[in-house]
Amino acid sequence: MASDPVRTRLLELAEARGASLSALSRMLGKNPSYLQQFIRKGSPRKLEEVDRAALARFFRVSEQELGRPEEFSLPGSGKGDSDWVAVPRLSLGASAGPGAVDSQEVAFDSLRFSARWLRAMGLRADRLAVIEVRGDSMEPTLRDGDEILVDRETRRLQDGICVVRLDDVVLVKRVEMGRSGRVYLRSDNPAYRLIECAITDLSVIGRVVWKGGRI
């Protein structure tokens, strides 16, 4: 069973450190044969998360060497940092209410997203931004204070929830393309009126592809 890469690596680390498997087992609060059985008999099938973390700290190696899946690497854990992308949070407010005057697109913070997830979604990390929603016109879909991930890859208008600029006001609305160059901006909250305008009156900031917020 020691031919398994994780078990082989653990055995190598223990021998290099001059630490017995029974001593390491006791360090984990287990019975002395715990790691011996793990390596020689394959039981347990894999290390418990807390045990794996403790052994990684003891040997000063990454948890991936002891079986932690790469997709669950945490920021700051060394090799796993490349699996995460910091997307800028912009001070530009996307109003879902009466409207907010545009401000400079200045990044004041960032949120981290899984690079694997972004690739699966077909999103380019360098074309993304996080913006805070202001107002209640898009409730219940988007609430005041929600954070939205905006894909700025394409600036052409299309149906869906988008962040747009109209008369220097930034809005997040449900866009519907009409005939003869007309565009409809709908609010999910029925208390707000439909906005109709010419396509030439709008500029697109991006398409909303994800939201997050407090419960």
Name which of 39-43, 98-102, 129-133, 187-191 the model is least confident about.
Answer: 98-102
The verdict on residue 94 lying in a domain is yes
The predicted model scores a pTM of 0.58
In a shared domain, residues 128 and 27: no
CATH of the domain at 64: 1.10.260.40
In a shared domain, residues 66 and 94: no
Q: How many domains does the chain divide into?
A: 2
Give the CA radius of gyration of the chain. Answer: 26
The per-residue DSSP string of 132-170 comes to EEESSTTTTTS-TT-EEEEE-S--S--SEEEEEEETTEE
In a shared domain, residues 62 and 94: no
CATH of the domain at 196: 2.10.109.10
In a shared domain, residues 66 and 90: no
* pLDDT tens, position by position, 135-150: 999 999 999 999 999 9
In a shared domain, residues 182 and 101: yes
Distance set, CA 54 to CA 34, 45, 58 (Å): 14, 18, 6
pLDDT of residue 26 exceeding 60, the answer is yes
The verdict on residue 78 lying in a domain is no
In a shared domain, residues 64 and 94: no
**Per-residue model confidence (pLDDT) at position 100:** 45
**Per-residue model confidence (pLDDT) at position 201:** 92
In a shared domain, residues 28 and 67: yes
pLDDT of residue 12 exceeding 80, the answer is yes
Q: Give the range of the structural domain holding residue 128, as residue numbers without chain letter.
A: 83-212
The verdict on residue 191 lying in a domain is yes
